[in-house]
Amino acid sequence: MFKGEMTLRPTTRQTINESYGLLGLAAARRQPVAGIYDGLPRLFCPHVLGRKSGQFHALCYQFGGSSHRGLPVMSEGGGGWRCIAVDKLSELKLRTGAWHTESRSPRQTCIDEIDFDVDAQSGDNPQNGQ
C-alpha cells in the first residue's frame, strides 16, 4: 500500500503498548508512520503522545491517506492535525521520508497527560520545514 515501510504486526488489544512505543520511536526520530486508522489508510507524523481519559492518544499531523472528515487541499501538499486513539490503529509501519508539521496551538485538547511532545525536545526546531 505504501512505499518505504517497516512492518509491525497489526494492532490488537494485546499490542496497544507496542503500537504506542512505535509511535514514540517515530516521534523521537521525527519519522513518518503509515497505518490504518478507523478502517482508513493514513500517513502521519506523531507529535504529542499521552493519555486522554486514561486511554493512549497521539496528536498527529496527517499528510496523506484518507479520513472520514477529509484533508485540507493545499497547493504544497498540506495536511492537518488529527487526534488519534491508539487502540483504533492497525498495520503500523515506520516510513522513510520527510517529517511533516505546521504550527499548532499550545492549547491542544487531544491529550490530558503528556508523555512526549516533539516541540519540547531541546536542540531541535521541529517547526523548521517539512
Could you report the per-residue pLDDT of 27-53, keeping only the tens digit for each? 999 999 999 998 999 999 999 999 999
pLDDT band with cut points at 50, 70 and 90 for residue 74? very low
Return d(Cα 52, Cα 94) in angstroms, integer: 24
- How many helical (H) and strand (E) elements, i.e. helices and strands, does the chain have? 1, 7
CA distance 53 to 113: 9
Q: What is the pTM of this model?
A: 0.78
SS3 113: strand
Supply the pLDDT for residue 76: 55
Please, what's the b/e burial string for 27-41 (b: 16 or more CB within 10 A of its CB; e: otherwise)? beebbbbbbbbeeee
d(CA 17, CA 55): 11
